[in-house]
Structure 1
């Protein structure tokens, strides 16, 4: 009798265990997914996740490299620039959202301010390091001079000589990054207002520090988790005005820090970057792990900066040069500014023929981000390309020609 009761008890226990196991197998993922959704929705009631969204506690780091020109005199004679990479000069970047306003249609508006702090312990060099680079003020002015009356061109040419401004300049990293005093800048702002994008010190990142990236309005995900972080508008615009086709002027994806959960290998990571003045998209490449955490790696497709001849949908971003260069002049006060991946990675190989010292390597220079399919980014050459895209690169291919032109104008 006891054996019978024991057998029945074991059978019942086994049955309950099996049922419980089946419940866990089928219901468990649903519970976990539901919890993920609840924790990701942008809602002040989710105190922990909302605080992290508002003032991101995870440190961002921006690594800046300069190409120091070793043969400026020879370049003026028409030879190829010879460069050496200097850096990285590493800056910790703090992001903080302000002016947060929730709207009835399950969207939220905010301004995200960014500030940078030099990290000497992570850098190879110091902000006092002096590097020689093209004088972007002079080169830019020389390009603009071409369509001006001859009297104006003569005046500017005399101004360059008077201020002893040439095709190249040697400045400290700190001055190049955050600004330096220039009598030429003062002169141009006085006599040619609007020619330069700023009226203060001239620096590559002077306009970025302690600034915001514009008024973003994004979906909170409350009505549909698939829309979370998707940009509804930027500075009140639902489409851009910089480019030549409706497709190129579309504002797609998120603001570039997070994407909806539950990704698959067929997913893409679209985002809008104000610093690039356009929407971009990363595509799945492979699986990976970091400290045991499964990750998907998404990368920039080769077509991202392809010109209109190599990739027809990009025709709206032209006038174009070789593939691998994005012309952002239309949103940079018509200054001749181009963006590329570092060392012209994924660009037309002919660009490497114009300069000595570049060696594109995928692991070092390719744009990628590692992201958990159900969570935020973990690693990468950041896809919030307010980090990557801030490293604006001039077109090295044009430097010998432009420098020779400026040299001729001044002599």
Structure 2
């Protein structure tokens, strides 16, 4: 093996090609490539190393070329012309390079995609990083296996257009499922997938990703829908809570029941924005009246919001419970915060309706839910 500061020269090339047995040459190639990749090379050594790689890439023995491809598949030492040559070789040599080498430009990879078979297209789609432009080409031109691999690759920078094209081309099966399990999805794509996915995947979508208010309401109230959505969970997931709440109000589902359930589950931001929307008071002022205006502030803005007087004791109990939890259990994670909040609220026997109590008991029985945003820190 080459020592850390040994120079790579033409003598190294001669020693490598001297062996007649291809297995011996492959072993020597592997050791030499590994040494070149691990050591810091000065410009002269780097030039000599790349000369050796060109010799290896032209070796008649597949084992030697494979040793080069596998050992240096992720190395930035491999020159672009060598990577291009290896990408045109047999699959055992080409696929590691196509799938990992940083030597390629997007133009190189698009060429591989367009002239390669399904296996090579899939290797391109599964690379450690796929640019937005390349992702769109794969979505438009790739075979189904390549598009599925792209959809499942969270390191691929997928545009909404690429996702939509993928759904248009393969509206059933593994592509839809792979897209559904991506970490981040645009709202419009999520809603398209809900209409196509299996019931299990649909449930995953509505629990993991934000929906528009219209879709959330439809899924929450539509008896014929296979999947239902909890509006409180969706309000917690949305990035623009003020707009979401305004849409709920426009659809006449921003009710006292919804706000009480949100409050009892510790989702204070939904309660705050809901009170703000119903009362016509700016959120900042509504927040002050709920939290910092003394015992009469909550009652004043509650009445202004037009909420039922008979339910005020339950709302009062919810706000008081939330404050106690913030004071006592500031270090609890959000799941346990919600669980404790529900337990404490329900033991106070608030004057909630039977349906609301049943809903809260069901949430308590279900246990901590990973994706519910308690929002305590934001409201504090």
TM-score (normalised: structure 1): 0.27
Higher gyration radius (CA): 2
- TM-score normalised to structure 2 length: 0.28
Q: Which has the higher contact order (CA 8 A, sep 6+)?
A: 1
User: Which one has the bigger strand percentage?
Assistant: 1
